[in-house]
Amino acid sequence: MVNHVKGKVLSLLSVPAILLGLMSVVPAATEAADTPQTLTNVAGSDDYAKPGLQPEFQTVPKKYRNDIPVQILGINDLHGGLSTTGDVGIGQKTYKGAGTAARLASYLDQAQNQFKAVANSNNTFRVEAGDMVGAAPANSSLLAHESTMHALKEMRFQIGTLGNHEFDRGLPEFNRILNGNAPTASTNASQLVKDYPHYSTNMQLIVANVVNQSNGQIPFGYKPYTIKTVKAGNEKAKVGFIGIDTSTLPSLTLYDNYKDYKVLDEAETIAKYDKILNNKGVKAVVVMAHTGVATSPQGQTTGPVVDILNKLNSIDPSNHVGLYVAGHSHQYANAKIGKTHVVQAVYTGKAYDDVWTYVSPKSGKFVSVAPHVYPVLSQADDPTVSGNPNVAAVVKDADNRVDPQVNQVIGKAATPETITGRLHNNSTMENAAGEVVVDGQLYEANKHGVQADFAMTNTGGVRADLEVNENADITWGAATAVQPFGNILQVVKMTGKQIEDALNQQYDQNQQYYLQIAGLKYTYTDSGDANQPFKVVSMTKDDGTPITPDGTYNVVINDFLHGGGDDFTAFKDTAIQGSIGTDTDTFVNYIKDMTAAGTPVQAPQLDRKVYQGN
């Protein structure tokens, strides 16, 4: 009965810096109302698994042989995925078991070598569009993500920009690992982090629209753009790169992590720096932006990037942005929006962008942009390729350092089967791992004497399936992969009306943000309102007792939601009744407690949200 609900979901999207992660749908940009024009929107084509098979990459077309070849190799949303693998959809095809940083490095090397051989050019730039770190497995997170930065250094990434997850531990901490400084006493670093080697990534960080609240200056001396000179024979030209973060940052991270900064409008900032670059003689511009976009298998491209480019071309029709390397929404994209090509290489190192461009030495403009997205094929699909040994060494060293803690068995599952998470939502946007998480939060709150009726979490904070070993063991690493952030859990007092408002807020942005719930059930139905197509009809406790609008209840939420994160304003500033520690520790303790009680963890029935047709 609810297939029409599920049909609204494009895919999953990453967002909150300490908590959010993949959403169900790419959000609409807030400035859409200010974009009077609609640019042409044409999907690109990605039919080949490797650039070596791409017909247009076999030779330099005759009409461009007097121009300067330039290659852009891009990634986005690595999220510390040093060893992460999974299926990846690109165009009409799905590739199984894609990923790992070492194999990504090898494919980037292959792509660059092919470009050099065919185009006789060294004009290759490796760029990154935000969320290098954060929401990551233990071989990154336990080492303060320095292992990921070391891997990026070995992959020779030259230019990067900020995403929301670079703010997870505060921007000063990200700046520390970017530059390879040792942790200070105030960071309370673990011995693992203190013992890890600290050295600079040698990546130039550019961001144009993040400024200090105090003085309007870009923090830490980061630059808004960089200019690179490209050459072919005796000819030269300039290519400009502008870095952009998402303006939705305040809803994606904790207040303390963004309060010192202001994020400016994306389109207006691009227009400003495009003109500055133009005045410096730069007529070929690449934007690297942590803003979401998706191209569906049907060839439809949607998301904030489309709205940003519409607005950009409305206020600056003569802009020179030829390529937009996107991130944040964890989806595949290849499209031409107006005159600008847009790509996004999914996430966690499962894919990469390979874009061949040609710049006229006379006009300085892009005369051709040929963008493609390719998978990082598994060893099974491409046994001829081995992982880059330098990156593999970084990963192996990280594994060796964290393995004693990661492999510690903390409990048992009822069956030796993985308990699946947000990649396996049912039609009402429930998933088993998410509901185990909130079940645990509710149980642990009451166990520690902080009386709670319900628990709720934004599903972006539930980052992974709960992996279960073949003997039904659950390890510390498996548990913390599900809840990696260490957000503080608070018990807050809410009225039934506030709870209803929070549940309804799941439906005001096409379920871009949604909740996992414990201790209550509710029914919802069609509202007839296009802006919020569904509404809550009734709510009850698990035992069937109605939840009344003027009744008061204690609800476990994380501090991200308490600040109104993911636009759940119903939780904001509710009265705190107590705290129960971090979400990570709470989940680990719940698995231990269930095992000790002889009730091993099992996947719950997904029946807490019930759609009721009119």
Cα–Cα distance list, 370 to 335, 353, 355 (Å)? 11, 11, 6
End-to-end CA distance of the chain: 11
Q: Which residues contact 64 (CB under 8 A, 6 or more apart)?
A: 358, 367, 368
Tell which of 397, 417, 435 closes a domain.
397
Q: How many structural domains is the chain composed of? A: 2
For residue 5, tell me if it sits in a domain. no
- Domain span holding position 421: 409-611
pLDDT of the residue at 12: 32
Residue where a domain terminates, one of 346, 374, 397: 397
Task: Tell me, yes or no, whether 393 and 525 share the same domain.
Answer: no
Closest C-alpha among 332, 306, 356, 273 to residue 71: 356
Indicate whether 224 and 280 sit together in one domain: yes
**Do both 161 and 287 map to the same domain?**
yes
Q: Give, as one character, the DSSP assignment of residue 184.
A: P
C-alpha–C-alpha distance, residues 460 and 437, integer Å: 12
Indicate which CATH number applies to the domain containing 512: 3.90.780.10
Question: Which candidate, 20, 40, 104, places its Cα nearest to that of 352?
Answer: 104
Residue 1 belongs to a domain: no
Q: Which helix (H) or strand (E) holds 406?
A: helix 389-406
Burial class (CB in 10 A: 0-12, 13-18, 19+), 139: buried
CA nearest to 18, candidates 133, 129, 130, 101: 133
Q: What is the pLDDT of residue 14?
A: 33
Q: How far apart are CA 299 and CA 585, in angstroms?
A: 43
pLDDT for 186 equals 78
- 454 plus 387 within the same structural domain: no
Residue 73 lies in a domain: yes
From 397, 425, 451, the end of a domain falls on 397
Residue 413, C-beta contacts closer than 8 angstroms, at least 6 positions apart: 419, 466, 468, 472, 473, 474, 600, 601, 602
For the chain, give me the number of helices (H) and strands (E)? 15, 29
pTM of the predicted structure, to 2 decimals: 0.84
Residues 339 and 438 in one domain: no
Confirm whether 141 is domain-assigned.
yes
- Specify whether 350 is located in the same domain as 423: no
Measured between alpha carbons, how far is 482 from 464 in angstroms, rounded to an integer? 5
Same-domain check for residues 207 and 272: yes
Residues whose CB falls within 8 Å of the CB of residue 605, separated by 6 or more in sequence, listed in order: none
As averages over each run of 10 residues, the pLDDT of the chain (614 residues) reads 31 32 36 61 97 97 98 97 94 96 98 98 98 91 96 98 94 98 89 97 98 98 98 98 95 85 98 98 98 93 96 97 96 97 97 98 98 98 98 98 96 97 95 98 94 95 94 96 88 97 94 95 95 96 97 95 90 89 93 97 97 88
Residue indicated by tokens 């991130």: 327
**C-alpha span between 237 and 366 (Å, rounded):** 10
For residue 147, give the CATH number of its domain: 3.60.21.10
CB distance 557 to 503 below 8 Å: no
- One domain for residues 330 and 234: yes
Rounded to 5°, angle at Cα 279 from 278 and 284: 20
pLDDT of residue 136: 87
Q: Is 14 inside any structural domain?
A: no
In whole angstroms, give the CA distance from residue 307 to residue 303: 7
In whole angstroms, give the CA distance from residue 381 to residue 506.
39
Let me know whether 473 and 376 are in one domain: no
User: What token pair was written down for 417?
Assistant: 């089967």
Cα separation, 267 vs 316, in Å, equals 9
Beta strands 321-326; 340-345: pairing state: parallel
Element spanning 392, H or E: helix 389-406
Look at residue 342 and give its three-state secondary structure. Answer: strand
* Predicted pLDDT at 19: 33
> Would you say 491 and 506 are in contact if contact means Cβ atoms under 8 Å apart?
no
The values of phi and psi at residue 396, to 5°, are -60, -45
Residue 15 lies in a domain: no
Asked if residue 392 and residue 273 are part of one domain, the reply reads yes
Domain annotation covers residue 13: no
Determine the Cα–Cα distance for residues 263 and 209; give it in Å rounded to an integer. Answer: 5
Residue 124 CB: number of other CB atoms within 10 A?
Answer: 21
Helix, strand, coil % over all residues of the chain, rounded to 5: 30, 30, 40
Q: In Å, how far from its chain's centre is CA 486?
A: 18
Residues 420 and 382 grouped into a single domain: no
In a domain, 109, yes or no: yes
Residue with tokens 């071309």: 313
CB 315 within 8 A of CB 67: no
Report which DSSP code applies to 51.
G
358 and 477 share one domain: no
The count of residues in the chain is 614
Strand 609-611, strand 520-526: pairing: parallel
Tell me what pLDDT residue 371 has: 98
